[in-house]
Amino acid sequence: MSKTIVLKKGLDLPITGCAEKRLSKTLLSEVTAVQPGDFKGLLPRLLVKEGDKVLAGSAVLSDKKNPDILVTSPVSGTVKEIVRGEKRKLLAVLIQTDPDQQYADFGAKSVAALSAEDVKSALLASGLWPWLVQRPYGILADPAATPKAIFVSAFNSTPGAADADFAFAGEIAAIQTGIDALAKIAEVHVSFNAKTYDASPLVKLNATKHFFEGKCPAGNVGVQISHISPIKKDETVWTISLQGLAAIGKLFLKGRYDVRRLVAVSGPMAIQPAYVSALPGTPMTELKAFYSTNEDIVRVVSGDVLTGKAVGTEGYLGYFDNTVTLIKEGTEKEPFGWAMPLRLKQFSTDHTYFSWLMPWRKYDMDTNLHGGPRAFVMNDAYYAKVLPMDIYPLYLIKACLAGDIEKMEQFGIYEVLPEDLAVCEFVDPSKNYIQDIIAKGIDLMLKEMA
Amino acid sequence: MNKIFEKGGKLYWLHSTIDAFETFLAVPGTVAKKGAHVRDAVDLKRIMIIAVISAVPAAIFGMWNVGFQHSLATGIDLNVWQEFWYGFWKVLPLFVVSYVVGLFIEFASSQIRGEEVNEGYLVSGFFIPLIVPVDVPLWMLAVAVAFAVIFGKEVFGGTGMNIWNPALLTRAFLFFSYPSKMSGSETWIHLGGAETVDGFSGATPLALTAENGFDGLVNATVQYGTDFWTMFWGGIPGSVGETSVIAILLGAAILLWTGVASWKIMVSEVVGLLCVAGLANLTGLSDIPCWYQLVMGGFAFGAVFMATDPVTSAQTETGKWIYGFFVGAMCAVIRLFNPGYAEGMMLAILLGNTFAPLIDYCVTSAHTRKRNKIAKA
């Protein structure tokens, strides 16, 4: 076992409602959605019309800039509706699901015999290409590029998020095949949680391994990259999740496009939180059993509590998500909240409260901001103590606010995605939307660099 | 909030004010719209109120000390409660003026910017009465507060954007505009027109050393004690809240326990002061033992409450060490080498505030250079 990288900075949110490690049910919904908004950097071109028949793996969308990049249907069925928003922006393609699933046949292949180009074209044709995320900026990977390396995080450090050891225990062979396939393109680095590694089923994987120990966000692949091999200007690396590796593995093993996954349904509002087996685009109404008694006060989040997207009860499971978080909308006022000496029901990492003295406690957190928006008052160190990267977070945030490209470069915009500063956003007493600020900074970089 | 206070409503001009009172009484039911769906319970109100609470011991002691000094100077016998009560009524108007003028401007500026009222002035407004002489005329204080809040803070965009500490800027404005009310030996003790005792002196210990060196302090025939421990517990004339190191240390304990202020800044300030004052001792430039500098004048109050302001101090951890050392060292330099004026802490901190962005610039640039070097290797 190579050396463990210990990260001292970070914060584990003591939130209740962690999903119990059992499969509660397997879902196949009547309607499944394909949402172009799930793919950062995709300019969608619609390839189907209402009434078309599709198989699991049939192309639904392509990218206007690079028509080789396809988004395919996770299910077989009939295109039911094309949902458009303002200015006819394409929001979703709804597919009426067949009761018996039919898969497009991509042909099982032995990975050992394939070249890098073969792997790339297989991924493009099957619609698995979007699983590859290119850094800097976290966009769709460019098929023409050769990345420096491909990074994978084999654990999730956000409390409440799906536990990799449980969710992928049955997918080891597929994940290994996925790693072997991508290794044709570039070296694959997999980072493990040093604390749980020995007991993990993932121990069997064969790749360039790294070991991390630390609090959230130690499981973020961006944090791991910054400690393994920081991204420099003009460098490109790719990242992929275990879920993506498993899907790639199944493509080569079985010749099928199969993106079914175990989804952790968790959060303080979840009734008997547990795992379900589901496909991306599954309507949240399928999960009603988990929030039926709290329907009017629940926020349904596709993704984890720090970085997920609030999709509402009418929304759909995001393409890359394997966590659904159910959390209470904190719309109630709290009389004299900030002035109460103890305020024991609320969690704060700040020492002006006392919850840091009671690390064993868990809290029913809700979505209340606990304050009003203000200019940044606390200094850089306040944010840096929860960011295990060698950057000055507040300087980066302010550079993004100012739209100063040079400063953004200086303070590490190449190394971060909004998710990496999610914990900074959590602790911010000025209640700024830090992830949004970083996302806008990245958008500006993309525009200026194009 | 009632509709008439919303945008387009008749009383929209009161929006920020009403919002400030409403959120003062209850944490609002606003939810996180994007990004992290849960947030830490802490907000600026909590952090600011801790800063205010930490200065309460110094304020209470300061009120009592106003009565105590009055009693010493006039020979009128008062018990502890009478002394406190006497001082309370002398200091209260300072608080009222500071808060009324400052908050009025703060509320109006927030409304103009269309923002919620920042809690920052709750702290500045509490500190201002503690760093001025008790006898400062109220109208002067009002003018100074208005100047500091408008030109020191609001023109930059409000709390969080300011370069200089607004409380100290108030003091600096008073000092340069009305020096006769801010220095010398007639401003520190409230006499109220009463006769003084024999051998009365209104000079602070720091002023005594500035005039006649260390001998001037130990041999002084004044009505209050001039030994180290008297200055440590604080029964000496001075600005309202600055005299008692014990009360200030109590505040420092609260600030450090809660992490509101940086221990790095406090420690490096003490080190900076002792280095320069100690060096002056060794070279014979000054005969005042360097540890006396810690308990005289405004050093302790400034080091704990003023220089640690998270907005105007250095932002980076390395920068804090440099910044603190600079402030402490400058304080000693001004005290020892400035013939006109005994105190140096106010100017040292304002200078520190001025240079803090430069210090941070150097620290972050060095960090970038180091990273680029690693990246190239």
In a domain, B177, yes or no: yes
**Among positive and negative, which fits the CA dihedral A265, A267, A269, A272?**
positive
> Mean pLDDT: which of A243-247, B72-76, B108-112 is highest?
A243-247
Pairing of strands A59-63, A90-97: unpaired
Predicted pLDDT at B218:
85
User: A interface mutation test: which of B18, B30, B38 has the most A CBs within 10 A?
Assistant: B38
Predicted pLDDT at B181:
83
Predicted pLDDT at A171:
94
Q: Identify the closest residue of chain B to A398 by CA–CA distance.
A: B161
Q: Which residue has the higher pLDDT, A166 or A3?
A: A166
Q: Which of A179-188, A430-439, B179-188, B311-320 has the lowest mean pLDDT?
A: B179-188
Predicted pLDDT at B114:
87
Q: Please judge whether B37 and A378 are an interchain contact, meaning their C-beta atoms are less than 8 angstroms apart.
A: no
pLDDT one-digit tens code per residue, A69-100: 999 999 999 999 999 999 999 999 999 999 99
In one letter, which amino acid is B40?
D
Q: Please judge whether A352 and B47 are an interchain contact, meaning their C-beta atoms are less than 8 angstroms apart.
A: yes
Predicted pLDDT at A29:
94
Q: Is pLDDT at B29 greater than 60 in this prediction? A: yes
Q: Is pLDDT at A210 greater than 70 in this prediction? A: yes
Largest alpha-carbon pair distance within chain A?
68
CB–CB of B111/B16 below 8 Å?
yes
How close does chain B come to A229, measured CA to CA in Å?
9
In a domain, B190, yes or no: no
Q: Which residue has the higher pLDDT, B4 or A123?
A: A123
Burial grade of A87 (CB within 10 A; 0-12, 13-18, 19 or more): exposed
- pLDDT band of B82, cuts 50, 70, 90: very high
In a domain, B204, yes or no: no
Q: Is pLDDT at A10 greater than 70 in this prediction? A: yes
Q: Is pLDDT at B340 greater than 80 in this prediction? A: no
B322 closest CA partner among B257, B262, B248, B242: B262
The whole-number average pLDDT for the span B64-68 is 96
In a domain, B115, yes or no: yes
Q: Identify the closest residue of chain A to B158 by CA–CA distance.
A: A375
B160 closest CA partner among B215, B120, B111: B120
Q: Identify the closest residue of chain B to A15 by CA–CA distance.
A: B38
A256 closest CA partner among A72, A84, A390: A72
CB–CB of A429/B260 below 8 Å?
no
B368 in contact with A, Cβ within 8 Å: yes
B158 in contact with A, Cβ within 8 Å: yes
Chain B residues close to A392, C-beta within 8 Å: 315-316, 364, 367
What is the side-by-side strand order in the sheet with A298-302? Answer: A23-26, A274-278, A261-266, A323-328, A298-302, A309-310
Spatial separation of the C-alpha atoms in residues A305 and B37, rounded to whole Å: 6
pLDDT one-digit tens code per residue, B255-267: 999 999 999 999 9
Spatial separation of the C-alpha atoms in residues A82 and A46, rounded to whole Å: 9
In a domain, B164, yes or no: yes
**CA angle, corner B375, sides to B372 and B377, nearest 5?**
110
Please count the other Cβ atoms lying within 10 Å of the Cβ belonging to residue A118: 14
Q: Which residue has the higher pLDDT, A6 or B1?
A: A6
Cβ partners under 8 Å of residue B294, min gap 6? B245, B270, B273, B274, B300
Q: Is pLDDT at A124 greater than 60 in this prediction? A: yes
* Whole-complex ipTM: 0.92
How close does chain B come to A250, measured CA to CA in Å?
33
pLDDT one-digit tens code per residue, B279-301: 999 999 888 999 999 999 899 99
The whole-number average pLDDT for the span B222-243 is 92
A128 closest CA partner among A157, A154, A106: A106
The whole-number average pLDDT for the span A299-316 is 95
In a domain, B254, yes or no: no
Cβ partners under 8 Å of residue A63, min gap 6? A42, A43, A44, A45, A69, A70, A140
The whole-number average pLDDT for the span A379-408 is 95
Q: Please judge whether A436 and B41 are an interchain contact, meaning their C-beta atoms are less than 8 angstroms apart.
A: no
The tally of domains found in chain B comes to 1
Q: Please judge whether A430 and B44 are an interchain contact, meaning their C-beta atoms are less than 8 angstroms apart.
A: yes
- pLDDT band of A433, cuts 50, 70, 90: very high
The whole-number average pLDDT for the span B333-348 is 87
CB–CB of B342/B242 below 8 Å?
no
Q: Please judge whether A373 and B116 are an interchain contact, meaning their C-beta atoms are less than 8 angstroms apart.
A: yes
Q: Is pLDDT at A369 greater than 60 in this prediction? A: yes
Predicted pLDDT at A233:
80
Chain A residues close to B31, C-beta within 8 Å: 299, 329-331, 366-369
Q: Is pLDDT at A1 greater than 60 in this prediction? A: no
Q: Is pLDDT at A362 greater than 90 in this prediction? A: yes
Spatial separation of the C-alpha atoms in residues A419 and A165, rounded to whole Å: 22
B193 in contact with A, Cβ within 8 Å: no
**Structural domain boundaries enclosing B57:** 1-26+44-184
B308 closest CA partner among B71, B72, B46, B51: B51
Q: Is pLDDT at A2 greater than 80 in this prediction? A: no
How close does chain B come to A351, measured CA to CA in Å?
4
Tokens 């297989």 -> residue: A122
Cβ partners under 8 Å of residue A143, min gap 6? A66, A68, A69, A120, A124, A129
Q: Is pLDDT at A257 greater than 60 in this prediction? A: yes
Q: Is pLDDT at B377 greater than 70 in this prediction? A: no
The whole-number average pLDDT for the span A62-73 is 95
Tokens, residue A398: 């302010």
What is the full DSSP assignment across A180-226? Answer: HHHTTTS-EEEEEETTTGGG-GGGG--SEEEEEEESTTTT-HHHHHH
Cβ partners under 8 Å of residue B219, min gap 6? none
In a domain, B148, yes or no: yes
Predicted pLDDT at B200:
87
Q: Identify the closest residue of chain A to B44 by CA–CA distance.
A: A429
Q: Identify the closest residue of chain B to A376 by CA–CA distance.
A: B160
How close does chain A come to B28, measured CA to CA in Å?
5
**Among positive and negative, which fits the CA dihedral B27, B29, B34, B40?**
positive
In a domain, B21, yes or no: yes
Spatial separation of the C-alpha atoms in residues B217 and B224, rounded to whole Å: 11
Chain B residues close to A333, C-beta within 8 Å: 26-29
Q: Is pLDDT at B143 greater than 60 in this prediction? A: yes
Spatial separation of the C-alpha atoms in residues B178 and B135, rounded to whole Å: 12
